[in-house]
Structure 1
Amino acid sequence: MKKKTALVAILATSALALTACSGDGASNGGGDASGDTYNWDMTITVSETSTWWAGAEKFGELLDEKSDGRMTLNIFANEQLSGGDPAAGVEMLSDGSKAFSYNSPIIYSGIDPRFSAITAPFLYQNYEEADAAIEAGAADAYAGLTEDMNIKMLGFGESGFRQLTNNSKEITAPEDIAGMKFRVAGSELFIEIYKELGADPVTMNFSEVFTSLQNGTIDGQENPFDVIYSNGLMEVQDYLSVWNYVYDPLILGMNLDMYNELSDEDKAIVDEAAAEANAYQIELSRDKESEQLAEMKEQMTVTELTPEQLTAFREALQPIYDAYTDKWTPEVLEAVTPQ
């Protein structure tokens, strides 16, 4: 991938700057490390075949390596600790029922709408724009938002640009979406996006999506390539529209109380492991996209929207910006705006 080395350096630097079960060793409250041991739980929203899982595994390996075996990470896919409910999973992270999670800011936005600013429709045209905004201030802004929830943000991973699948027809214009029932991410913003396009949006836990598509309860859904591919949604969907309409990063979060109880040395271990794991996960996710898309083209009708077609969607969704600017607040919106 282009600029791969630079990307890793940027992500590692920004994550370091931001710098379930609780630990079973005594805390030092910021002093020198005393050899405490920790057995932590971490959850992700999707399956073990995703790059989310690979990033979490890398994080666990790095924690073990850098701590000489004192830090152990237990990883749970599909939000197993919260019954498949990612919003409940974020609440568990906040109250200390688990130590870590990878979650989209979309899930956080159900608690605080400011989180949805970075997932505004057609905010970024490509990964370079998203990377630049994150480095310039978005990461710092979101670190502040998570602290308000008693969560330490350990940098951004990445889910990718979100796409649209359905079982009815090829979608190339806003009017094609009208009347169709789509499962959307559990966020007021996404419900309003699809209502603005004339669709019938519904929310449900991601663990229910495959079956709902299979039995026709819903016509389609929207997610990045990795989530679509790793969960086999192409087996129950006929059409894929590639429109890159929302950039979706992942917040690697740690319960703030647990983080603050670590010694300075152990905080550094967690920060460094997180920075390296996030960079690894993002690189892996971007590297896999072309391969995943090629395989999905063998099973689905794939339409890559033209610049003119995308312009029609951008214009149709301008009212979303008008309605949400105040909810995002000028400070957060400025932080995520492309440089």
Structure 2
Amino acid sequence: MKMKKGRILGAIGLTAMLMLGACSKDDSGSASSDEKKYNLKMSVTVNDSSTWYKAAEKLANDMKEETDGRINIEVFPNEQLSGGDQGKGVELLAKGQTDLSLHSTIIYSILDDRFGVASAPFLFSEHAEADKVFSGKGGEMIGEILNEKGVELLGFGENGFRQVTNSKHEIKSPADMKGMKIRIPGINMYTDLYRALGADPATMAFSEVFTSLQQGTIHGQENPIDVIHSSKLNEVQDYLTQWNYSYDPLVLGINKKLFDSMSKEDQELFKKLGKEAAAFQIELAREKESKQIEELKAAGMQFYVPTEAEMEEFKAAVQPLYEKYKDIWGEDLLKAFQDQ
């Protein structure tokens, strides 16, 4: 009887040790971190009918499904989390006050001028060239700069190639732009660029652009096709030069401190689903652009595609800008974007 009691006590002791060991394993890492729940906020600059929002929605839905609701992402369109201020939007992400976002590298230039290299003038003539750079060394180096700023890159989306519109005449050469007042984003590189082309660049909130064009305060503006179409700028602009002068990539990013605190499994899941969401956005954006071009033409907007000789003239006019920004961007970074 005593021996039996001793065996029972021994078995209880062994069970307790095993349970303690199991608890210790949970406390030390993977089991507990795998069960960690997240309620995250994601910021998108544009509205909920945009390809940006659809990509963010895909990421949120896929993440919810893959984790059975353990990781929940709430998407906020129209820059709601930053009061409509895109610059503040990227700052909130870097500081961790927002968890994820989709922002253009043009806006990231506010944090660091080096991001401007992604939209350098006449760097890419077509999508395939941009895709090659962003999936290679160039994209990798932008990812490293994002890390420095507190953001982990999950994937590159696309706002598209930027085109120029105006209400005066077709733009076929820098001479056609002389003295033309054109609205640009408030980035130094674009100011220098349009001055080099002979234009008179003006910065203003995009919400003021339609009225300013209508009243003749400005003669033209530049943006990707999607913005031109959705803002109905064809109603106040007659001419569009399709010159693909500046590429506008999007960063699907997550706050780095948050990302680093996650389990390896969750990090890998974010990387996988983020890359898929970004690729989905690019596919949607390119399909949409083709239809929008046809609709703008049907509405009476006159498109002009410069000849090779004309493109060379534009490129020659902005060459001094490369000399000025080479040191700002860094030679290695610029080389990674020029080697296609």
Q: TM-score, normalised by structure 2?
A: 0.86
* Contact 1:132–1:338 (CA under 8 A) maintained in structure 2: no
**CA distance in 1 between partners of 2:146 and 2:253 (Å):** 8
Measure, in 1, the Cα distance between the counterparts of 2:218 and 2:275. Answer: 38
Closer/same/farther in 2, CA of residues 79 and 215 from structure 1, 3 Å limit: farther
| Equivalent residue letter for 1:56 | A
**2:324 is the counterpart of 1:336:** no
Q: Secondary structure at the match of 2:135?
A: helix
Alignment of 1:230-309 (within 5 A): 230-299=230-299, 300-309=301-310
Is the alpha carbon distance of 1:64 and 1:326 closer, same or farther for their aligned partners in structure 2, counting shifts above 3 Å? same
Greater Cα offset, 52-61 or 42-51: 42-51
Q: Determine the C-alpha separation between the residues in 1 that align with 2:142 and 2:315.
A: 25
Mapped contact 2:111–2:149 kept (Cα < 8 A): no
Which residue of structure 2 lines up, in the alignment, with residue 53 of structure 1? 53
Shift of 1:113: 1.1
Q: Which moved more, 1:92-101 or 1:215-224?
A: 215-224
Structure 1 position 217, deviation (Å): 3.5
1:69: which partner in 2?
A: 69
TM-score between the two structures when normalised by the length of structure 1? 0.86
User: Offset at 1:40?
Assistant: 1.8
The aligned counterpart of 1:318 is: 319
Give the deviation of 1:30 after TM superposition: 7.4
Contact 1:86 1:205 in 2 (8 A): no
Aligned AA (2:249): P
Hey, what's the Cα distance between the residues in 2 that align with 1:152 and 1:35?
A: 22
Give runs of aligned pairs for residues 109-128 of structure 1, distance below 5 A.
Answer: 109-128=109-128
Given residue 46 of structure 1, which amino acid in structure 2 is its aligned partner? V
Q: Provide the C-alpha distance between the structure 2 equivalents of 1:60 and 1:215, rounded to a whole number of angstroms.
A: 42
Instruction: For 1:321, give the aligned amino acid.
Output: Y
Aligned to 2:155: 155
Of stretches 111-120 and 36-45 in structure 1, the one that deviates more from structure 2 is 36-45
TM-superposed CA distance for 1:266, in Å, is: 1.6
Whole-angstrom distance in 2 between the partners of 1:29 and 1:113: 42
Segments of structure 1 that go 5 or more residues without pairing to the other structure are 1-27
SS of residue paired to 2:136: helix
Residue 167 (structure 2) aligns with: 167
Amino-acid identity (%):
46
- Which deviations, in whole Å up to 9, do the C-alpha atoms of 1:132-173 show, x marking residues without a partner? 112220111011101111111112111111111122222111
Deviation at 1:232, TM superposition (A): 2.9
CA distance in 1, matches of 2:36, 2:133: 37
Tell me the CA shift for residue 76 of structure 1: 2.5
With over 3 angstroms needed to count, the CA separation of the structure-2 counterparts of 1:173 and 1:55, relative to structure 1, is same
Residues 30 and 262 in structure 1, CA contact (< 8 A), matched pair in contact too: no
State whether structure 2 residue 188 is matched by structure 1 residue 188: yes
Structure with the largest fraction of helix: 2
Determine the structure 1 residue equivalent to 2:141. Answer: 141
CA radius of gyration, larger in: 2
Correspondence list, 1:207-226, <5 A: 207-226=207-226
Deviation, structure 1 residue 29: 10
How far, CA to CA, are the matches of 1:108 and 1:332 in structure 2?
Answer: 16
Check the 8 A contact 2:174/2:314 in 1, yes or no.
yes
Contact 2:181 2:200 in 1 (8 A): yes
- Residue-by-residue CA offset, 1:274-326 (whole Å, 9 max, x unaligned): 01101111111112221110001122122122222211111111111111111
SS in 2 for 1:317: helix
Distance 1:232 1:37 in 2: 43
Pair 97,131 (structure 1): closer, same or farther in 2 beyond 3 Å: same
> Which residue number corresponds to residue 18 of structure 1?
none
Unaligned runs of 5+ residues in structure 2 are 1-26
- CA 1:52–1:134: 2 relative to 1, 3 Å: same
Letter in 2 for 1:272: K
SS at match of 1:252: strand
Q: Following the alignment from structure 2 to structure 1, what is the Cα–Cα distance between the partners of residues 83 and 204?
A: 12
- Distance of 2:217 and 2:295 partners within structure 1: 26
Give the count of matched residue pairs.
312
In angstroms, what is the RMSD of aligned CA positions?
1.9
Q: Looking at both structures, which has the greater relative contact order when contacts are Cα pairs under 8 Å and sequence separation is at least 6?
A: 1
1:215 to 1:85, Cα distance in 2 relative to 1, 3 A: farther
Corresponding residue SS for 2:163: strand
Q: Which residue does the alignment assign to 1:15? A: none
Contact 2:93–2:254 (CA under 8 A) maintained in structure 1: yes
